[in-house]
Amino acid sequence: MDSLINAAGRALAGGDPLAALKLVALREDPPALALRGKLTPTVLPPVLRAVHELMAAGLALRRVQAHTAQITLTRAQQAAELADIPSLSAEIEHACTLQSNRFVTGVTWVDGALWHGTCEGDESELRRIDPQDGEVLGSPKMPDGISVSGLEADGGERFYCGGRR
């Protein structure tokens, strides 16, 4: 078993399913699929469930699985309504709106706040959201021509994401 599978198993055993999901979400090998099968999103608090479903929708879109993406976006909307965080609901609603080119390109959870990247045309934005009231706490200025694609944090002050100029 490789170190990521071991770390994901330890995270699950320690009661941190989101950390486990981050380690195996993009993998398709049998051990990763087995670990993902143990994660039941319905046991997560609504805000984490919404983030989980939003991530799943993003993965489905990248794999050109439109029907799966629509189902997971619907579940994300339902969880966001239960979480009662207006900006999270608005972002998911925006992701569901076909007349918009804006996409949520990545989400991560750091120091009790939801961070997510968005992209519309040539503009990207990274936002920090308060989980209690949904207020946007900050949005660092992105360099011109840089897009955010995928998002992860080291738990400190560094974010990792793909992008393009």
Compute the Cα dihedral for 165, 139, 114, 153 and give only its sign.
positive
* Alpha carbon distance, N-terminus to C-terminus of the chain: 38
Report pLDDT for 27.
Answer: 77
Q: How far apart are CA 79 and CA 83, in angstroms?
A: 6
CB count in 10 Å sphere of residue 18: 15
Q: Which residues of the chain have pLDDT under 70?
A: 1, 36-40, 61-64, 66, 94-104, 120-122, 131-134, 163-165
Question: Distance (Å, rounded) from C-alpha 50 to C-alpha 37?
Answer: 18
| pLDDT given for residue 101 in this prediction | 47
Q: In whole angstroms, what is the distance from residue 91 CA to residue 103 CA? A: 9
Predicted local confidence at residue 63, as pLDDT: 66
Beta-bridge partner residues of 120:
123
